[in-house]
Amino acid sequence: MSPHQTKLLSRVGLFLGFVTLIAGASLFAFRFSLAMGLAELQVTGRHRLDLYATSLEREIDKYAYFSTTLGLERDVLQMLAAPHPTRTAQVNQYLEQLNERAGTLSIYVLDSKGKVLATSNWRRPDSFLGEDLSFRPYFRQAMETGSGRIFGIGTTRGEPGYYLASSLTNGQGTVGVAVVKVGLQQLEKSWVTAEAPVLVADENGVVILASVRDWKFTTLTPLDEATRRAFDRTQQYNRRALNPLGVVEMTALEHGARLVSLPKLGPEMVSMFPVAGKFLAQTQPLPGSPWSITVFSLQEQVRGMAANRAAVAGVGAAFLCILTLMLNERRRHLKDRLAAREALQQAHDELERKVVERTADLSAANTRLQVEVAERTRAERTLRAAQDELVQAGKLAVIGQLSSGIAHELNQPLAALRTLSGNARKFLARGDQQTADSNLNRIADLVDRMGRLTGQLKSFARKSSGRPQVVPLRRAVDNALFLLEQRLRRAGVVACIDLSDEELQAWCDANRLEQVLVNLAGNALDAMEGQPAQALDITARRQGERILIQVRDRGPGLSAQARTHLFEPFFTTKEAGSGLGLGLTISAGIVADFGGSLSGDNHPEGGAIFTLDIPAAPGGPTT
């Protein structure tokens, strides 16, 4: 699995975890809050139940009192003991007044057989005066137990009400039954301030009293056919439809409380409070009767509250998740930053280590370089010394080549000196002072000339430093030619010197320049040896900061081979003993030392021409 997929998977996992947490927190809060709310609702419901039951009891007791007190009425007892129309009329009137005062539906007295002896409604055409009501359960109950309480619907007028019956007794026993029929509205008066739907069901589960009008004469549980037929027989509910209320019990709680749902019975139902939906139903028996009272407390508020709390818990959990996420993100961010810092530190350390290494390398390289430079300097110094030695050797070789000519040059004046000095002595002995004097003058000239030659030789042979300085060009050319004078004379060559400016000054070493010139002129003489027309031209001219010196001869010129290998050491075409092949190599080296160049070519008109390109002395005349 790729890191990207792993990351995605962990994200999805985290998201699912958060969703579960939020859902769990909400559910827990809902359940907890609902349980708490229902517990509170139970307490409130119980209080309501007590309150409504007590007020109903009080109301019923108030009317029940009438039937019992009738047993104390003398007229009533006398009428029962001996029925007489006058007495009956009296009792009828009494009951009529009482009924009016009490606001009840009817009050009547039955004899022990169940026949109506007197009644409050004696005036009305539908009065049940004289009717046999022994089949009515309240009569039987009163006869048997002393009192009877029953809900019923009147057989004559079909008016529902509560029959509160009390047996009437005299000294001989039960003589009759007094009955008060109370209207529904009268009993329900006690519930005008009820805050929740409340109902009273009789022993058959039929709703006989309810704060909701439409609930009346419904049943809490569906009736079977046998029960229905029994009701028809007693006409207790006067053949009312007795449809089920439709209470659906969902959960049974402790203390007999139930969570129920009530259906919407119809759009016409108008009530102070909701009568359909989810309720908490609480039931308790009504004391002194087989009836039970039930209060319905609406769960809506509790559920709403629980939903609100669940939402708050959900939001809280979500907030907690976001906070966790943020903290986690921050922690990761910090971790990343720490890692980045560590990486940076590592990189820095690495860099520093490399810098140290490189510095060490560099210093080692530097040391090596210094050593190399020192070695090279030493080598260069050695090379220079070797070069100097080579130059010197070359010069000595030139001197060697010149030596026979020089020896000849010295021998001639020496011989002349011997002759002249001998003659001078003779002339002095003869007293020819004048001729002797002239001879002595010639001797002096010859000695001067010899001295110049040896002086020149000595100066040429000297080991020069090679350090550049101002060199008058004319003198250098003259000195070189002076050394070659003997050879020139022998070859019958007159050197033709053409310096565009007699004052030309080069920036070089005079001694070495003379050496180069002697070399070039010597080569020229060598090349021209045996040639019919010999000539040696030495020209010089200034070109900007440079001086170009050319040495041209009328020899055979440079062969193709010579032109290729001219400046290579030991290249020579001369016979063994005549040349070493080092002259031009050394000369080129000397000129390069001056910062110049030496090149050789053939002149278009024949002969070889060598060109020296050397720096002019600074500040000199320019052309």
User: Could you list the residues that contact ligand ADP (CB under 6 A)?
Assistant: 519, 523-524, 527, 553, 555, 558, 562, 566, 571-574, 579-581, 583-584, 608
**Separation CA 600–CA 611 (nearest Å):** 6
Q: Which residue has the closest beta carbon to ligand ADP?
A: 579
- 181: amino acid identity, one letter: K
**Separation CA 83–CA 1 (nearest Å):** 109
DSSP 453-497: HHHHHHHHHS------EEEEHHHHHHHHHHHHHHHHHHHT--EEE
Q: How far is the CB of 559 from ligand ADP (least distance, A)?
A: 7
Q: 134 vs 131, 155, 268, 437, CA distance in Å?
A: 9, 13, 39, 216
The DSSP code for 215 is G
Q: How far is the CB of 452 from ligand ADP (least distance, A)?
A: 27
Q: How far is the CB of 393 from ligand ADP (least distance, A)?
A: 12
**Separation CA 383–CA 381 (nearest Å):** 5
The DSSP code for 288 is T
Q: How far is the CB of 562 from ligand ADP (least distance, A)?
A: 5
| Strand residues in 433-494 grouped as ranges (E) | 469-472
Q: How far is the CB of 490 from ligand ADP (least distance, A)?
A: 18
Q: Between residues 67 and 523, which has the closer beta carbon with respect to ligand ADP?
A: 523
Name, in order, each residue with C-beta under 8 angstroms of 585's C-beta and a sequence gap of 6 or more: 567, 568, 569
Task: For residue 208, count other CB atoms closer than 10 A to its CB.
Answer: 22
**Separation CA 290–CA 136 (nearest Å):** 17
**Separation CA 313–CA 22 (nearest Å):** 8
Q: Between residues 314 and 522, which has the closer beta carbon with respect to ligand ADP?
A: 522
What the block records as the tokens of 429 is: 């002995």
**Separation CA 115–CA 103 (nearest Å):** 24
Q: Between residues 254 and 575, which has the closer beta carbon with respect to ligand ADP?
A: 575
What is the per-residue burial (b if ≥16 Cβ within 10 Å, else e) of 99-112? beebebbbbbbbbb
Q: How far is the CB of 603 from ligand ADP (least distance, A)?
A: 10
Which of 196, 218, 215 lies closest to 205, judged by CA? Answer: 218
Q: Between residues 98 and 397, which has the closer beta carbon with respect to ligand ADP?
A: 397
282 bridge partner residues: 295
Q: Between residues 299 and 519, which has the closer beta carbon with respect to ligand ADP?
A: 519
Q: Between residues 484 and 584, which has the closer beta carbon with respect to ligand ADP?
A: 584
Name, in order, each residue with C-beta under 8 angstroms of 257's C-beta and a sequence gap of 6 or more: 42, 45, 280, 281, 282
Q: Between residues 297 and 523, which has the closer beta carbon with respect to ligand ADP?
A: 523
Q: How far is the CB of 397 from ligand ADP (least distance, A)?
A: 8
Q: How far is the CB of 550 from ligand ADP (least distance, A)?
A: 12
Name, in order, each residue with C-beta under 8 angstroms of 579's C-beta and a sequence gap of 6 or more: 526, 572, 573
Q: Between residues 197 and 579, which has the closer beta carbon with respect to ligand ADP?
A: 579
Contact between 91 and 117 (Cβ < 8 Å): yes
Q: Between residues 115 and 565, which has the closer beta carbon with respect to ligand ADP?
A: 565
Q: How far is the CB of 538 from ligand ADP (least distance, A)?
A: 13
Q: How far is the CB of 511 from ligand ADP (least distance, A)?
A: 18
Sign of CA dihedral 75, 80, 86, 89: positive
Q: Between residues 438 and 531, which has the closer beta carbon with respect to ligand ADP?
A: 531
The DSSP code for 107 is E
Q: How far is the CB of 565 from ligand ADP (least distance, A)?
A: 8
Q: Between residues 161 and 579, which has the closer beta carbon with respect to ligand ADP?
A: 579
Q: Between residues 208 and 524, which has the closer beta carbon with respect to ligand ADP?
A: 524
**Phi and psi dihedrals of 567, rounded to 5?**
-100, 10
Task: For residue 70, count other CB atoms closer than 10 A to its CB.
Answer: 26
Q: How far is the CB of 601 from ligand ADP (least distance, A)?
A: 11
Q: Between residues 287 and 400, which has the closer beta carbon with respect to ligand ADP?
A: 400
For tokens 């994200």, what's the residue? 11
Q: How many residues are recorded in the chain?
A: 623
Q: How far is the CB of 499 from ligand ADP (least distance, A)?
A: 20
Which of 288, 52, 56 lies closest to 150, judged by CA? Answer: 288
What is the per-residue burial (b if ≥16 Cβ within 10 Å, else e) of 395-409? bebbbebbeebbeeb
**Separation CA 472–CA 223 (nearest Å):** 157
Q: How far is the CB of 523 from ligand ADP (least distance, A)?
A: 3
Q: Between residues 316 and 556, which has the closer beta carbon with respect to ligand ADP?
A: 556
